[in-house]
Amino acid sequence: MLKSPLLWKMITLGGAMILLLIPLMMVRHTIVERADYRSHVENAIRQSTSGPQKVVGPLVAIPVTELYTVLEEEKEVQYKRSYLYFWLPESLLVEGNQNVEARKIGIYQGQVWHTDMAIKAEFDVARLHELNRPNITLGKPFIVVGVGDARGISAVKAPQVNGEMLTVEPGTGLPESREGIHIPLPDSQWATRNLTLAMSLNLSGTGSFSLVPVGRSSEMTLTSNWPHPNFVGDFLPGKREIRGSGVQAQWHTRRVAAPLGDQVGE
């Protein structure tokens, strides 16, 4: 039986397949090992700088205390609840200039980007009509700009509201999402007139950069030296120009969905 030509052919073929599998397994091991090391390099860069960034805002957070009555056992019982009302901008205009630089560790490299953003937002006081009720008391409002990783905030130019210079404070001031900044509004009659905000924000990060279009009309222009962009998200740029020296893209969206709503809390 061992002299069967067919058997020897099968043994030879099996041996050849085993011999071929050995270098394939070695190549696979090398690929997995290098992929793990690349992931380690990216994590190391992220840990030493900052991670992906998602900019949310600016919007105005207004502390609200509301008294209301409930009929219980044929008696009216008064209760109080507190929440944050978000005043969203009518228009949001963002102009960004991004510079991407390489960070190399060993044979691998990642990218760290730095984006200078000029932000202008306009708020229509008519949107606050539902707060003009005798059972509602308003607290001191503040402007909120949230980001994905606050370590990436390198500079914030003193913002102006209706031409008045205001102070920037760390953190969003919100109970659930703290990464970002907030700007307390003055005690003047802010709720009786429209607000125009102008500010600049220098933000760094790794991986993705995104902006939530909180304005009823939101426009963004981004110029970058990175020639290999990957556009993702719910809104793709309406215009884009990709060259060897970089990319320029423009977004314009109109918010037709429901507003953010109230954030209920103590």
- Where do the domains of the chain lie? 1-48, 53-264
Least confident of 36-40, 84-88, 203-207: 36-40
Q: Which CATH code fits 53-264?
A: 2.60.40
* Residue 266 binned pLDDT confidence (cut-offs 50, 70, 90): very low
| 198 or 236, which is more confident | 198
Residue 10 DSSP code: H
Q: What is the pLDDT of residues 76-89, one digit of tens each?
A: 778 888 889 999 99
What value does the mean pLDDT of the chain take?
82
H helix runs in the chain, sequence order: 5-48
Number of residues that make up the chain = 266
Residue range 48-59: mean pLDDT, rounded? 86
Residue range 45-72: mean pLDDT, rounded? 84
d(CA 256, CA 259): 9
pLDDT at 41 (0 to 100): 66
| 26 or 215, which is more confident | 215
Q: What is the pLDDT of residues 146-196, one digit of tens each?
A: 998 889 888 888 788 888 889 889 988 888 778 899 999 987 667 778 999
Q: Which of 86, 100, 224 is nearest to 146 (CA)?
A: 86
Give 18-22 contacts, CB < 8 A, sequence gap 24+. Answer: none
Q: Collapsing DSSP states into helix, strand and coil, what is residue 128? A: helix
